[in-house]
Structure 1
Amino acid sequence: MAPSIQELFGGFIDGCPEPWTVLDLDFRIAMANASFAAQHQQTVPDLIGKTCYQVLHHRDSKCEVCRADEVFRTGQPKTWEECRAVEGKSRFFEMRCYPVKDSNGKILHAVQFGHDITDRKHKDDDTKASEESYRAIVQKAREGIFVLDTQGMVIFANDRLLEMLAYQPAEILGQSFFELMDRDALAKAKIERSPRGLVNVHEMSFRCRSGDLLVTRLSVSSLMHDGAFVGSVEIFGDIPRVGGVEVELRTAKEFSERIINSITDNLVVIDPKSYHIVQANNHFLARVGREPTTVLNKTCYEIMLGRVSPCEAYGIPCPVRETARVKRSSTVERFYGAADGTQQLFEIITYPLFDDQGEVSLVIRLERDVTEKRKMESALANRAKDLQRAQRQLEVLFEISRQMTSLGSLAELINFILKTTIEIFPGSESAFFVLNTEANGVLPLKECQAKLAGPMWQLLAGLEQSGMLTDLVGFLKGLKPEVHGIEDNALALPQPSMFSGSYSSWFGLPVFAQEQCIGYFLVGSSKDRDYSTDEIHFLHTLFAQVAGHIRHLVVHEAEINNLRQSMTRRASLGEIVGQSKRMQEIYELAELVSASDVTVLITGANGTGKEVVARSIHGMSHRCDGPFVVANCSAYSPALLESELFGHEKGSFTGAIKRKRGRIERADGGTLFLDEIGEIAPATQLLLLRFLEDHRFERVGGEETLKADVRVLAATNRDLRLEV
């Protein structure tokens, strides 16, 4: 449970002599110390629950300018001054208000306290009176005195200075100090480069109102407040012409401690001749984990690198020496060990400082920790590469989809896949072991390009010689798509061991189509390398897209090869013998119709073997185990043919002494061959046509409708089309 406001602040504010209050979000006093209660002549319990504007300002509503409200809204502390009546006297207070937040950063209360600055205000009034006295003293000084603001504008000039330059106050106040100087760029640069916080003396020439030059000794002193530059004081001393020129005072220090320590980068000032460190800020000292006394006047290579010789002795370029040589800034990046032992990448920028002769006297060296920045840039670069790779993969998938129909052969499709994987995995080899239609062997794919398929042929030859090709086929036949799906990590799949000796780094993907493994795709490299999961998943996606087409091409080309082989080798079909082109056409047609139950008409002259062809069709069909019944339609009269085909019931006609099953009924589950079908009478043709439509019939003289699963083959020596 979170501590209460009393637990957090009670013991602290009760012991404070300053008046303290804690306000809630409704501006009610949640806590107050005894000093606050005494100031308002009330007890602490009486104050709890009252609003601040009620107690402090005797108001019924929130103040128009409420600092506590600003703290609640912005979450930032506020400081202001206000005057209050205490024991009948006006007292000045410096007020401060801070937000109190919970662990989630939500503002719960505001702490407000005041510091009595009445005495300080009185001292400020005394100071103002003193300033007037000092101004009178400055006006009576023998030296000319300027006071400049931060922009070099004259904000005060004493009477002596006006007398020396023969100007009126209105002519000089608000003017640029540098416009009064002789047009000497070097002199102006001296003033601008004068170190702040120190007194610097220069010999300068100023132009009087009359146009004459006044040579003076100018003492420049910076005005600093809380470490910040707020202006400067220039004191003119007249130099007799016969007195010569005083030697310019040298700079005591280049930077004050307060200025360089306000710089957030690691700063160090180095003498480029001796490599000694002459100044270092606190950030640099924290980085190297040392005290100032152990760093100043030590060499930079000793402090930063722990070496006994400059960087050039180790073949490392030195940015400090390079800046001193070329007299301009330089930028490099270096790794340095931090005080905690970690390696950090720093961007190092060096700046030259020139002496009066224009030579580099000192070099300012700034370090900026760019470790996280470079990591971010590297991450962004890697992300950009990933996006480029993803775009390339999408382009490949689109190209495969576009060209899939144009890649009409299995070899063309395999060539395209192998070429694509070589682009995705540069420096690696690819091989695709495609199973045949019976899944008992691997297709040789000799029609593929040798440049692309060479590694695959070499691996296949090695597997055949070692006898491990059968093991690979058995491994692939045992894989199931529900176990090794696209969503799995390919590197975690079981891999055949026969490729371990061929590559230092490799992985393989089983390829599935219609719940069946149709092949194995291998990527390998003779060098050690890592294959990313994203790249492997892309191959999964690629093969999920093309696997069905690959299977279709395998089956299609196998059928074409089988057909070609049957056309070139067949010399007989059943009891039919012959190798002529016409006989090959008959064999092909017989095989084609044997695969279905369609009714077939065989034509030809008498004695050409129409019944033999019919028996061959029956033998190649799925009805080969059923009966083959022959009915010679020309051998029966129309009345007898109907009884012969459909059967009859007992007593249906004279001589029908018992029920007889017709040839259609006897051929159930097999084939009925109707020879010389052109001799059938029209009435019988109608009965036969009805049977061919729904395989239903009635015996002669019967009333029961029977059904028979019979395939009908017919033959004739007549041209029925011509006769029809």
Structure 2
Amino acid sequence: MGKSQITTSKSDRLSHLHKNNFVGQESYRTPPGHEYLFEAINLTDNAIICKDLEGRITLWNKGAEQLYGYREKDVLGLAAEVLEPEEVKGETLSIIAKIVNKKEVKRYETVRLTKSRKLVHVELTVSPIKDVHGNIAGIIAVAKDITGKRRLEKQVKEYGDNLRRLFGLLTYQKKILAKSSPEEIIRSIDKVAKDIFLGAERLFFAPNSTSTDLVTLSKASLPPTINRRSIGSFLQWMTSLDHAVVYSGNDHRSTSTPFDELLKIYHMWHAFPLFFEKQCFAYYVIAFHQSKKISSVDSEFFYNLLDLVSGPIWHALRFEEHLSDPKAYAPNRFSFLSLVGQSREMQQIYNLIQDIAATTATVLITGENGTGKQLVAQSIHALSPRRDGPFIIANCSAYPSSLIESELFGHEKGAFTGAIKRKLGRFDLAQEGTIFLDEIGEVPLTTQVSLLRVLQDKCFERVGGEKTIIADVRIIAATNKNLKEEMAAGNFREDLFYRLNVISIDLPPLRQRKEDIVPLCSHFLAKYNEREGKDIQDFDPKVIQLFLDHDWPGNVRELQNAVELAVILTKGNTIKEKCLPPHLRETYIYPSTSLAENEKKLIARVLDESNWNKHEAARRLGITRSTLYSKVKRYKLEMIL
């Protein structure tokens, strides 16, 4: 593209501009003061560009040089389309045509290219330039750089989108974790995948615990067209993975993985890994028979959702295998999945239960009232070789001290006044099974001696009897007391403590694992919906916030009672604040004290220092992420952009 003949001195350029463009002057000489006009044009930060009717540049100020990177001598006479990217090519001539046809064009936003081929967003204010006869001779455009503004708007939009995606993740997570069996969990994930990936077939690949075959789920089984001959090599490959990789393939591109052979009937597919404790235990696949474009946002959202629920899926799969014996499904049986919780503390407890269930070792469970000590004991029994035997509960605090030995070990006829016939004790009833000694800290010292003998010698005698009975019983004990303090006070035998405390499980209070509150609420809601014949769908957000703010001195039992009452009182399909117990309904106003203000300042400072990475901020503050989210909302803290 050639240049037109142009003048180079300031005086000549202004004379040329004045001669062709300015109204009201008869002489073509540079009028007095136009030198100052040229200097004034160069003083503005905005880019000012004049163009003739053919779109050639006739004026180019310092602001234009700074914005676009071209020097004045390099662009004078060039067509303005040199600044136009492909998507707006020809825009300048279109604007000139509109102005010539008397159509008003004042201000609009567009994009331009700099000399370095960088795209900039500009706001253009355009006006016609007329000659001395009133005819339009060109246009003058003032360009304002709004790239930073658009970038900020994009960041704000992305931040909002991220918040919406996070809310969506938490919503889906809550619904998925309300399910108990692997089949129900996968079915819930299928519903999400169906909404996100329209037209996709959904496949779930998970090896059994011995990695010899795939886990069979009636609602998540492989279609018959899958190449099952490839499963062996696939299982060996998948269980060797030590880091997460999302594989995507089609019939034109190989991934060099067993997926290529396994999924060769599909035109394209995406395989999302599920990891637990740094080991891949499953892949969830979406597959298409036709070409389909999958957005990176949807793919990332689904991967993050699977990552959130991978731990519960792993536990559900393993325990489904443990309970695959038909007898284990009897109504009076208990399963590990009666425990609900996704927190790190509970995941560690799940792992410990699985490790110790098959042993015969004595277990001591400690924790506050209402934390679920009995459920843990039931889970250990359900996974043990004794699961077909009885699970007998002995609440040691419920028996009078004069009768506790009779309750535990039984008595013979005539052993004491009122003993009119033989009675079997709890240890008798628990033969070939498990006995759960709840509130072991309440047992009198005299009875502690008898318990010690059972632990040491595996035998006992009934009260008033002479026959020694072999105790084929596994003992699990629990207490809400600090037994070491009880030993120091002389209330508990040291030798009995060490016999009981072979394996210890300490259950955290609910206030220390508030991320488990939402899954627990969903679990109890489903339970009492079924019992009461209702179809309540959800909790009002304010109710959830009240639950998160409460310290739960009664722990899970208190939460369970609150949800039970709310289900009974709720008339619609959402639990409202008015249906909660009175002590939870009271509006919570955080006291305006220096302590509260200091906490707010501390959280704000740590969030700023962590660049609002809430995982890092929670770690530095020594609190859970759910607690941090609650406090951020309570104090109305916001990230300053």
TM-score normalised according to structure 2 size:
0.39
Q: Which structure has the higher relative contact order (CA within 8 Å, separation 6+)?
A: 2
TM-score normalised according to structure 1 size:
0.35
In terms of fraction of residues, the more helix-rich structure is 2
Q: Report which of the two structures shows the higher radius of gyration computed on alpha carbons.
A: 1
In terms of fraction of residues, the more strand-rich structure is 1
